[in-house]
Amino acid sequence: MGTIWIPGAERLGDGSIGGAMDSPSKPGRATWHSTESGAGNASFNAVAAYLIRIGAEPHVLYDPTTDRLGQFGPLNQSARALRNDGATRTNRTGKVNIQIEVLARAATPFTAYWKPGKNFRALMAAIRSWGVPDRFPMGALAGRYADPAAKRTRSVWLDQGGHYGHCNVPGNDHWDPGKISVSALFAAAPVGAPKPAPAKPQPVALAPFPGTAWFKYEPRSPLITAMGRRLVAEGYRGYKQGPGPKWTEADRAAYAWWQRKLGYSGSDADGWPGASSWAKLRVPKS
Ligand SMILES: [Zn+2]
């Protein structure tokens, strides 16, 4: 379930404009209109009242010059700004058909001069909350009345989610919202920055094997301490003190335990570290 009432939008009318969608299993869409009027608060109020009076409400009314947003009815029900396409009730096509009337004129595309703000972003977030993708599946918007570039293909309208102009709706002849910039539309409401990927565990820098002979000189080194800590981490419980930093018979006994644990026996489990058991112990570089 997506957003039904857009946060921050003012309520217009009595909140009841339509009903259930006819094809709720079809993808959601948004349909853009222009009111063919001026903008500003006086126009906003007059157009809202007019749309209510004639019963042609969209879901929302948007002023591109002030970012003012009003909502007539719930987004999960139909609006009334489209003509039917024969028996197909275009207002009720899809999971949602969110209709936006922009206070603008088709001949002067609003994205050329608008000032989108947080209400526009809230509108786009609400549209996206219904899974409507950021695309215009019908392709070009109309640049003039009866522009042949603007398609009204029925199969696309019925089956494809995304954004449409009124100019793209089958059975309708209006050419609004004009040739608005599709890229500007989406860019004005960037999808939240992708969440940072969970931090990967830091790869541990491992201490290279110093050679078996090195241990036989009874070294005193932080490497012996690191080695012993790894043996304890692996389950060795025989250290009375230490481990490290000086190599002692206690370390040799501990290491023999590790070799036996790995399955070595005899001289392969004599407590003197070898390259392969060392690699498996993964002693961090100290
Ligand atoms: Zn329209």
How does pLDDT run along the chain (286 residues), one tens digit per residue? Answer: 899 999 999 999 999 999 999 999 999 999 999 999 999 999 999 999 999 999 999 999 999 999 999 999 999 999 999 999 999 999 999 999 999 999 999 999 999 999 999 999 999 999 999 999 999 999 999 999 999 999 999 999 999 999 999 999 999 999 999 999 999 999 999 987 555 566 677 778 999 999 999 999 999 999 999 999 999 999 999 999 879 899 999 999 999 999 999 999 999 999 999 999 999 999 998 7
Dist CA 275 CA 195 (whole Å): 42
Find the 215 Cα to ligand 1 centroid distance in Å. Answer: 84
On whether both 60 and 138 belong to a single domain, the answer is yes
- Amino acid residing at 42: A
Spatial CB neighbours of 80, under 8 Å, sequence gap ≥ 6:
17, 18, 55, 56, 57, 58, 91
On whether both 99 and 33 belong to a single domain, the answer is yes
Write out the E strands in 160-236.
162-165
Query: Per this entry, what is the length of the chain?
Result: 286
Find the 134 Cα to ligand 1 centroid distance in Å. Answer: 20
With the C-alpha atoms ordered 213, 219, 225, 226, is the resulting torsion angle positive or negative?
Answer: negative
On whether both 150 and 224 belong to a single domain, the answer is no
Dist CA 158 CA 164 (whole Å): 12
Pairing of strands 97-102, 29-34: parallel
On whether both 115 and 236 belong to a single domain, the answer is no
Find the 174 Cα to ligand 1 centroid distance in Å. Answer: 6
Which domain range does residue 134 map to? 10-187
Dist CA 71 CA 216 (whole Å): 82
Find the 25 Cα to ligand 1 centroid distance in Å. Answer: 25
| Token pair 């948007």: residue | 62
Instruction: Tell me if 202 is assigned to some domain.
Output: no
Find the 88 Cα to ligand 1 centroid distance in Å. Answer: 17
Find the 84 Cα to ligand 1 centroid distance in Å. Answer: 13
Find the 54 Cα to ligand 1 centroid distance in Å. Answer: 14
| Domain total in the chain | 2
Dist CA 274 CA 264 (whole Å): 11
Sheet of 60-63, strands arranged across: 10-11, 68-71, 60-63, 97-102, 29-34, 162-165
On whether both 110 and 166 belong to a single domain, the answer is yes
On whether both 14 and 148 belong to a single domain, the answer is yes
Find the 24 Cα to ligand 1 centroid distance in Å. Answer: 22
Find the 86 Cα to ligand 1 centroid distance in Å. Answer: 18
Find the 8 Cα to ligand 1 centroid distance in Å. Answer: 24
Name the residues around ion ligand 1, CB cutoff 5 A.
33, 166, 174, 176
Spatial CB neighbours of 253, under 8 Å, sequence gap ≥ 6:
238, 271
Instruction: Tell me if 2 is assigned to some domain.
Output: no
Instruction: Tell me if 286 is assigned to some domain.
Output: no
On whether both 224 and 172 belong to a single domain, the answer is no
Find the 107 Cα to ligand 1 centroid distance in Å. Answer: 13
On whether both 113 and 181 belong to a single domain, the answer is yes
